[in-house]
Chain A
Amino acid sequence: MNIFRLLGDLSHLLAIIVLLLKIWTTRSCAGISGKSQILFAIVYIARYLDLLNTYISAYNTIMKFVFISASLATIFFMYVKFKATYDHNHDSFRIEFLIAPALVLALLINHEFSPLEILWTFSIYLESVAILPQLFLVSKTGEAESITSHYLFALGSYRGLYLLNWVYRYYAEDHYDLIAIVAGVVQTVLYCDFFYLYITKVLKGKKLQLPA
């Protein structure tokens, strides 16, 4: 565990908690893409099936458990408890167009052709594009509430911090995982436009509003 990895995990955890708290306290999931949340739940479940056969540490187990539970709770809020506030007209991204290619790619390019490794690889590929429905929703409505922006910033920073972690591990431990690195770069690049708007607008107290 190095500082980048720890900060990445904390940023990831913060993002998930901010989102749940936003939905819970405002009793509304307006502006949040249920499609992205479904993709994240698939990502966590596919990747953390290793909870069943690999023990790493208490930290590892607890974090994986929290990510799966929190993402399922978010889906429950969006599709059941606060269903009336869900903006499904704008949330029209077709997630099968992300799931199918990620699955095909995982079958073709993986570390080992075994069910758990393929699911792990699938989760890495799917995670890299899972935010697209959310970014699509923001671009359709042309704006995002500041709390939604904070959520997106924390979520985007997490993989960026993981990239620094991988650079560090390459030099310090001679370890690198090309699948995770390439997917992590794609994932982080997808947020760049948002990061720019976040830094130039939201941090200066303005609302995140896209140019018309």
Chain B
Amino acid sequence: AEANNRHDEL
């Protein structure tokens, strides 16, 4: 989830 949060933001 942490990594997904990072890749979600631009």
* Residue positions of A touching B, CB distance < 8 A: 5, 9, 12, 50, 54, 56-57, 60, 63-64, 67, 111-112, 117, 120, 162, 165, 175, 177, 180
9 A-B interface contacts by CB (under 8 A): A50-B7, A54-B7, A56-B4, A60-B7, A67-B10, A111-B2, A165-B9, A175-B5, A177-B5
Interface of A is mostly: helix
Q: Whole-angstrom distance from the CB of A130 to the nearest CB of chain B?
A: 15
| A9 & B10 in contact (Cβ 8 Å cutoff) | yes
**Beyond the given A50-B7, A56-B4, A56-B7, could you list 9 further A-B residue pairs with CB under 8 A, ordered by the A residue number?**
A12-B10, A54-B7, A60-B7, A60-B8, A111-B2, A111-B3, A120-B6, A175-B5, A180-B9
Inside 8 A of A165's CB, which chain B residues have their CB?
9
Inside 8 A of B6's CB, which chain A residues have their CB?
111, 120, 177, 180
Q: Whole-angstrom distance from the CB of B1 to the nearest CB of chain A?
A: 8
Inside 8 A of B3's CB, which chain A residues have their CB?
111-112, 117
Q: Whole-angstrom distance from the CB of B2 to the nearest CB of chain A?
A: 7
Inside 8 A of A9's CB, which chain B residues have their CB?
10
Inside 8 A of B4's CB, which chain A residues have their CB?
54, 56
| B8 & A56 in contact (Cβ 8 Å cutoff) | yes
| B7 & A5 in contact (Cβ 8 Å cutoff) | no
Inside 8 A of B10's CB, which chain A residues have their CB?
9, 12, 60, 63-64, 67
Inside 8 A of B5's CB, which chain A residues have their CB?
175, 177
Q: How far is the CA of A111 from the CA of B1 in the complex (A)?
A: 13
| A5 & B9 in contact (Cβ 8 Å cutoff) | yes
Inside 8 A of A180's CB, which chain B residues have their CB?
6, 9
Q: How far is the CA of A112 from the CA of B2 in the complex (A)?
A: 11
Q: How far is the CA of A165 from the CA of B8 in the complex (A)?
A: 13
